Amino acid sequence: DQQVKQNSPSLSVQEGRISILNCDYTNSMFDYFLWYKKYPAEGPTFLISISSIKDKNEDGRFTVFLNKSAKHLSLHIVPSQPGDSAVYFCAASGLAGGGNKLTFGTGTQLKVEL
């Protein structure tokens, strides 16, 4: 049972354009969401997070949107740069339930082309 889903295994965008990565979840107990970026042969690194009390969080070129009614979040990267080419994982946690375990999606490979 995949509680966090990233339905697009890959995404290709041109440099300077917007990249939109999507993530859906099924567990209504999730109340904290994060995005991680992973380069080959490295561990994932934290990118941005959002609590369920918000619907948007912005950090420089990265913005995460949360639609709780649709159980959907998205990561926007504007403008996209070649260095953004990586695998992006969304993750979710049910902090209200007392847990700090993260459930990860399957990842989306982003390729930013020149």
Q: Which residues would be at the binding site for other proteins (CB under 8 A)?
A: 4, 6, 9, 32, 34, 36, 41-46, 49, 89, 91, 93, 95, 100-107
Least distance CB 106 / other proteins (angstroms):
4
Pairing mode, strands 10-14 and 62-67? unpaired
Task: Determine the Cα angle at 84 with ends 20 and 4, to 5°.
Answer: 50
Q: How far apart are CA 63 and CA 5, in angstroms?
A: 19
Please tell me the distance from the alpha carbon of residue 36 to that of residue 43, in angstroms, as a whole number.
Answer: 10
- Give the shortest CB-4-to-other proteins separation in angstroms: 8
Using the minimum distance from each CB to other proteins, give the nearer residue, 10 or 14.
10
Min dist CB 80 to other proteins, Å, is 23
